[in-house]
């Protein structure tokens, strides 16, 4: 039927309505019955008394001077062919046309076509169209797609180089942007080179550095390798003095003695660990986490249920290390006070291990609050809890790091729970999942403070719950990761 009707698109054969569209009154021929089948709005216009015999009055002429010609052409294409050309901004114009005239079926068609056609070649263009035309839901969906395919998009020169300043700011500010920092830097550099050549070729006052002035502070140099920093140094966009501290930090990280077992005379077996956790119906699981903490030789672990009580700072300060674990469905007794106590604890030079699942979730009921969450102590941003396929240990960014000592494998059973997040400024990525999500991160807010390590995985293994798909496989090294993390923040 659509093929048959298609040959009558904008022809005067059998036409009984003629439109004059736009200020230039461009002419379009159509058929009242076809338009009525496509939209109840036009049906009401052409057949107001549909149950009565209609009087034949010949060609109807309608003038719509404020209507965009492209939008109307797209509507006719849909009415006669039940399809449209989704290239460019056409699908957006048809959506707004349908919204204006109350054509809900066409709006639904456009929304489905938008999602179907969204790809790595047009996602940024679609984002900018959505923002420009006020279709914010589509803009948000396009940005989620950009987050999930950031590496490919950043490497697509034809796509990234033509971005507006505002869109680049949005992309760089994404909480879940997982691309490596050197890739982000290279993409920005190519963008600036393109802008210089295309728009400022003869203007000597406009340099690559001035074009990138708004973006350089978004580059997290502390996440780069020696090789990456050397490449950055060659561009001249950062001074040698600015880069020096990051070269020194990397050198110090590589010199960490992975055999160290004492800090200021404190022996491993003397360290006192406080496990703070919501544990409704999960006491056995907390004992399992305690066993993991003790794998490396720690002997003193105390468990406190933070669902029913909030320990005072004086109580917490009696320990050397705190391990914090929230739980889905279990409220903390007073997450703000607890967060304030933990900030003081870290400021005193003591270490904190945060099990990110639920603790760093974007849920006011379950997440940690207070100063520890608000003042930049934690290396990861808060995010949504995501369920993904079975995952395993991916890239180890700092293979000589003490937390990675003895870690060979790490893998979940059937599926994986992670917090969809990104590393905040000052955080260091130690290891990633095989899909790029942060797995192990650390941060020391300033000299003299303790270190905070974040573990972005479900802390229970198949040893305690063999039927739990999100558990890590007991034959892999999840317990070593937990134990090493606790030792690391307690002994560095």
pLDDT on residue 4: 57
pLDDT on residue 365: 65
pLDDT on residue 449: 87
At 161, list the tokens.
């180089």
Instruction: Return all residues near 424 (Cβ < 8 A) that are at least 6 apart.
Output: 376, 378, 379, 380, 381, 443
Instruction: Return all residues near 163 (Cβ < 8 A) that are at least 6 apart.
Output: 124, 171, 191
Please give the backbone phi and psi of residue 166, each rounded to the nearest 5 degrees, phi first.
-65, -40
pLDDT on residue 327: 66
Helix, strand and coil percent figures for the chain, each rounded to 5: 45, 15, 40
Q: Read off the pLDDT of residues 206-242 as tens digits, 9 standing for 90 and up.
A: 999 998 888 887 788 877 888 888 889 989 998 888 8
Nearest Cα neighbor of 401 from 258, 214, 299 is: 258
pLDDT on residue 460: 82
337 in any annotated domain: yes
Same domain, 268 and 379: yes
Q: How confident is the model at residue 263 (pLDDT cuts 50, 70, 90)?
A: very low
420 beta partners: 384
> Is the pLDDT reported for residue 147 higher than 80?
no
Q: How confident is the model at residue 255 (pLDDT cuts 50, 70, 90)?
A: very low
> Is the pLDDT reported for residue 188 higher than 60?
yes
140 in any annotated domain: no
**Structural contact between residues 378 and 360, judged by C-beta atoms closer than 8 angstroms:** yes
Please give the backbone phi and psi of residue 429, each rounded to the nearest 5 degrees, phi first.
-85, 120
Same domain, 169 and 196: yes
Q: Read off the pLDDT of residues 465-482 as tens digits, 9 standing for 90 and up.
A: 665 667 888 899 999 999
Same domain, 249 and 331: no
236 beta partners: none
pLDDT on residue 455: 93
**Structural contact between residues 192 and 212, judged by C-beta atoms closer than 8 angstroms:** yes
At 3, list the tokens.
């093929």
Same domain, 437 and 484: yes
139 in any annotated domain: no
> Is the pLDDT reported for residue 165 higher than 60?
yes
Same domain, 49 and 162: no
Q: How confident is the model at residue 175 (pLDDT cuts 50, 70, 90)?
A: low
The predicted model gives 64-68 an average pLDDT of: 83
Domain region containing 244: 151-254
Same domain, 248 and 277: no
Instruction: Return all residues near 467 (Cβ < 8 A) that are at least 6 apart.
Output: none
Number of domains making up the chain? 3
Question: What is the percent of the chain with per-residue pLDDT over 70, rounded to a whole number?
Answer: 86
142 in any annotated domain: no
Nearest Cα neighbor of 325 from 353, 351, 355 is: 355
Same domain, 280 and 329: yes
Supply the pTM of this predicted model: 0.48
56 in any annotated domain: yes
Q: How confident is the model at residue 121 (pLDDT cuts 50, 70, 90)?
A: confident
Q: Read off the pLDDT of residues 301-340 as tens digits, 9 standing for 90 and up.
A: 998 888 878 888 888 988 999 999 876 545 677 888 899 9
Q: How confident is the model at residue 49 (pLDDT cuts 50, 70, 90)?
A: low
Instruction: State how beta strands 415-420 and 266-267 pair.
Output: unpaired
Same domain, 468 and 323: yes
**Structural contact between residues 253 and 402, judged by C-beta atoms closer than 8 angstroms:** no
Same domain, 395 and 432: yes
pLDDT on residue 402: 92
328 in any annotated domain: yes
Give the ranges where 104-180 is alpha helix by DSSP (H).
104-117, 123-133, 136-148, 150-155, 157-160, 165-172
Provide the 10 A C-beta neighbour count for residue 174.
15
CATH number for the domain including 26?
3.30.710.10
Q: Read off the pLDDT of residues 5-24 as tens digits, 9 standing for 90 and up.
A: 667 776 778 888 899 988 88
At 387, list the tokens.
């369920």
The predicted model gives 386-401 an average pLDDT of: 87
Same domain, 365 and 469: yes
Of the residues 213, 234, 254, which one is the last residue of a structural domain? 254
Nearest Cα neighbor of 45 from 108, 107, 103, 92 is: 103
Of the residues 254, 279, 311, which one is the last residue of a structural domain? 254
Q: For the CA atoms of the chain, what is the radius of gyration?
A: 30
143 in any annotated domain: no
Q: What is the DSSP string of 421-485?
A: --BPTT-EEEEEETTS-EEEEEE--STTSPPEEEE-S---BTTT-TT-TTSBPTTSSHHHHHHHH
Q: What is the DSSP string of 339-376?
A: HHHHHHHHHTT-EEEEEHHHHTBS-TTTS--SHHHHTT
Instruction: State how beta strands 351-355 and 452-455 pair.
Output: parallel
Provide the 10 A C-beta neighbour count for residue 61.
10
pLDDT on residue 3: 55
Of the residues 200, 224, 254, which one is the last residue of a structural domain? 254
pLDDT on residue 306: 85
Q: CA–CA separation, 460 vs 439, rounded Å?
A: 15
Q: Edge-to-edge strands of the sheet including 438-443?
A: 300-305, 272-277, 321-325, 351-355, 452-455, 438-443, 428-433, 393-396
Which carries the bigger pLDDT value, residue 281 or residue 449?
Answer: 449
342 in any annotated domain: yes
Question: What is the percent of the chain with per-residue pLDDT over 90, rounded to a whole number?
Answer: 17
Q: CA–CA separation, 308 vs 482, rounded Å?
A: 25
Provide the 10 A C-beta neighbour count for residue 142.
24
Nearest Cα neighbor of 326 from 207, 417, 218 is: 417
Same domain, 218 and 317: no
**Structural contact between residues 49 and 93, judged by C-beta atoms closer than 8 angstroms:** no
Same domain, 442 and 296: yes
Q: CA–CA separation, 142 vs 123, rounded Å?
A: 5
Taken in order 144, 371, 314, 306, the sign of the CA dihedral is: negative
Q: State the residue for tokens 């140094």.
A: 233
């Amino acid at each position: 039927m659509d093929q048959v009707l298609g040959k009558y698109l904008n022809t005067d054969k059998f036409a009984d309505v003629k439109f004059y569209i736009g200020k230039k009154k461009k002419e379009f021929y159509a058929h009242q019955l076809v338009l009525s089948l496509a939209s109840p709005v036009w049906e009401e216009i052409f057949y107001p008394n549909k149950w009565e015999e209609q009087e034949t009055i010949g060609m109807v002429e309608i003038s719509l001077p404020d209507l965009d010609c492209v939008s109307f052409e797209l509507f006719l294409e849909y009415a006669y062919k039940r399809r449209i050309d989704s290239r460019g901004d056409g699908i957006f114009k048809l959506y707004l046309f349908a919204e204006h005239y109350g054509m809900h079926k066409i709006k639904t068609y456009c929304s489905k076509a938008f999602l179907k056609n969204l790809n790595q070649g047009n996602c940024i263009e679609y984002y900018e169209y959505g923002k420009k035309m006020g279709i914010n839901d589509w803009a948000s969906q396009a940005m989620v797609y950009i987050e999930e395919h950031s590496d490919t998009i950043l490497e697509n020169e034809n796509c990234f180089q033509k971005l507006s300043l505002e869109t680049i700011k949005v992309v760089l500010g994404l909480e879940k942007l997982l691309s490596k920092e050197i890739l982000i830097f290279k993409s920005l550099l190519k963008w600036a080179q393109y802008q210089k050549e295309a728009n400022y070729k003869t203007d000597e006052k406009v340099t690559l550095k001035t074009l990138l002035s708004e973006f350089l502070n978004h580059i997290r140099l502390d996440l780069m390798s020696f090789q990456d920093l050397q490449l950055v140094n060659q561009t001249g966009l950062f001074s040698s003095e600015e880069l020096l501290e990051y070269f020194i930090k990397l050198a110090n990280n590589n010199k960490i003695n992975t055999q160290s077992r004492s800090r200021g005379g404190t022996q491993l077996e003397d360290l006192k660990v406080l496990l703070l956790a919501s544990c409704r119906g999960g006491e056995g699981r907390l004992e399992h986490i305690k066993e993991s903490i003790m794998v490396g030789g720690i002997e003193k672990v105390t468990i406190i249920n933070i669902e029913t009580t909030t320990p005072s700072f004086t109580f917490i300060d009696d320990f050397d290390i705190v391990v914090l674990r929230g739980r889905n469905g279990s409220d903390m007794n007073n997450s703000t006070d607890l967060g304030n106590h933990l900030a003081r604890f870290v400021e005193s030079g003591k270490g904190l291990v945060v099990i990110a699942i639920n603790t760093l979730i974007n849920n006011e009921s379950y997440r940690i609050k207070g100063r520890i969450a608000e003042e930049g102590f934690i290396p990861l941003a808060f995010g949504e809890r995501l369920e993904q396929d079975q995952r395993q240990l991916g890239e180890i960014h700092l293979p000589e790091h003490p937390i990675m000592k003895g870690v060979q494998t790490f893998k979940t059973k059937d599926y994986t729970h992670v917090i969809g997040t990104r590393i905040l400024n000052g955080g260091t990525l130690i290891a990633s999942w095989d899909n790029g999500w942060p797995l192990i991160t650390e941060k020391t807010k300033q000299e003299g403070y303790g270190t905070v390590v974040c573990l972005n995985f479900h802390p229970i293994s198949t040893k305690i719950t063999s039927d739990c798909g999100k558990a890590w496989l007991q034959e892999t090294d999840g317990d070593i990761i937990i134990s090493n993390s606790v030792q690391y923040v307690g002994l560095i």
